[in-house]
């Protein structure tokens, strides 16, 4: 089992975590946000946290809240990430009402894998599909490696945000889709479409643009079997990533069991400067031709 964490994300730092919160630096700005996995004590004092932080998220429900500014900072700002031996991809960050800022830093390990794997295929136009794509880190990595990329998310505003990140990164021609992921995959299966790369990072619960329901435990088995059948026979990667409390990497292994000889699985985490390791999801990677 692999344990992966970003090692060269200079525009990001997990400073400390504990007491169900995390203290993070995004570029030059430091945030305090809720973190349900951080069940231990903070290494630093609350006083030290507030002395460092520019802004703190104050939840007023399970899903939403407000930002309390402790020091002056903009509502939007940019950061960059250098792909291994490759270009930088860029992200516009924003203080959203849902505690997110527009990037999941632990996913940088997957961006590296995508960029290196797609580059290694030596194909003129590898086909890459990003499902549940959010603001597009995986899409940018695949595009930077020369892939023909489809970026799919059910929320139109998030797809627009991803397009801004493409433009910030000096890239072009990603194909944008506001679509229900399960419907799209079923349609692609009927068409016989094949891809050299697929990544899916589904939520525990979600809705498509027409109120289609997604529930991880009910839909993930069909989804995984479907995307495995959509892979090019000779050269491909598939990444399944899940952030769901209590979801084991052994579940990932079992879901992808028919690819057991070409499967890696494990856990993503962030290494805090204070010493803690913050777990942030389990993953499986099926591969061939790399």
pLDDT of the residue at 84 = 96
Q: Spell out the CATH class of 6-75.
A: mainly beta
pLDDT of the residue at 44 = 98
10 Å CB burial of residue 264 (0-12, 13-18, 19+) is middle
pLDDT of the residue at 226 = 96
Report residue 278 CA to chain centroid gap: 15
pTM assigned to the model: 0.96
Q: Averaged over 17-25, what is the pLDDT?
A: 98
| Inter-CA distances, 144 with 119, 126, 183, 214, 289, Å | 9, 12, 28, 30, 20
Q: Averaged over 206-232, what is the pLDDT?
A: 92
Taking 90 as the threshold, does the pLDDT of residue 223 lie above it? Answer: yes
Taking 80 as the threshold, does the pLDDT of residue 137 lie above it? Answer: yes
Structure tokens at 101: 């800022």
* Mean pLDDT for all residues in the chain: 95
pLDDT of the residue at 61 = 84
Angle at 115 between CA 5 and CA 224, to 5 degrees: 75
| Inter-CA distances, 112 with 5, 84, 87, 177, Å | 11, 6, 11, 24
Q: Averaged over 269-277, what is the pLDDT?
A: 98
**129 near 152, Cβ under 8 Å?**
yes
Q: Averaged over 251-264, what is the pLDDT?
A: 88
Q: Superfamily assignment of 77-288 in CATH?
A: Vaccinia Virus protein VP39 (3.40.50.150)
Asked if domains 6-75 and 77-288 share a fold, the reply is no
Q: Averaged over 4-15, what is the pLDDT?
A: 97
Taking 90 as the threshold, does the pLDDT of residue 206 lie above it? Answer: no
Read off the pLDDT band of 207 (50, 70, 90). Answer: confident
Taking 80 as the threshold, does the pLDDT of residue 62 lie above it? Answer: no
Distance from first CA to last CA of the chain, Å, rounded?
19
Every domain of the chain and the residues it spans: 6-75, 77-288
pLDDT of the residue at 272 = 98
Taking 90 as the threshold, does the pLDDT of residue 261 lie above it? Answer: no
pLDDT of the residue at 245 = 65
Q: Averaged over 223-237, what is the pLDDT?
A: 96
Taking 80 as the threshold, does the pLDDT of residue 242 lie above it? Answer: yes
Q: Averaged over 254-276, what is the pLDDT?
A: 92
Distance CA 66, CA 75 (A): 12
Element spanning 191, H or E: helix 181-191
Lowest mean pLDDT among 54-63, 153-162, 171-180, 231-240: 54-63
Share of the chain above pLDDT 90, in %: 88
């Amino acid at each position: 089992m692999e344990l992966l964490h970003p090692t060269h994300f200079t525009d990001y730092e997990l400073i400390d975590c504990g007491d169900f919160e995390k203290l993070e630096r995004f570029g030059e700005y430091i945030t305090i946000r809720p973190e349900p996995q951080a069940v231990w004590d903070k290494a630093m004092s609350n006083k030290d946290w507030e002395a460092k932080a520019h802004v703190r998220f104050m939840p007023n429900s399970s899903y939403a809240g407000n930002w309390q500014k402790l020091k002056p900072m903009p509502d939007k700002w940019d950061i960059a990430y250098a792909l291994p031996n490759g270009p930088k991809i860029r992200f516009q960050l924003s203080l959203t009402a849902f505690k997110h800022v527009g990037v999941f830093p632990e996913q940088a390990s997957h961006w590296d894998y995508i960029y290196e794997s797609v580059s290694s295929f030596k194909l003129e136009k590898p086909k890459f599909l990003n499902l549940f794509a959010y603001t597009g880190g995986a899409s940018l990595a695949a595009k930077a490696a020369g892939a023909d990329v489809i970026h799919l998310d059910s929320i139109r505003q998030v797809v627009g945000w991803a397009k801004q990140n493409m433009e910030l990164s000096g890239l072009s021609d990603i194909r944008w889709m506001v679509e229900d992921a399960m419907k799209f995959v079923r349609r692609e299966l009927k068409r016989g479409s094949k891809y050299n790369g697929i990544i899916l990072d589904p939520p525990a619960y979600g809705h498509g643009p027409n109120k289609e329901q997604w529930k991880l435990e009910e839909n993930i088995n069909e989804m995984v079997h479907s995307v495995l059948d959509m892979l090019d026979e000779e050269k491909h990667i598939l990444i399944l990533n899940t952030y769901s409390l209590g979801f084991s990497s052994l579940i990932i292994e079992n879901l992808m069991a028919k690819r057991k000889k070409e499967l890696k699985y494990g856990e993503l985490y962030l290494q805090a400067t204070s010493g803690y390791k913050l777990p942030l999801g389990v993953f499986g990677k099926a591969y061939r031709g790399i």
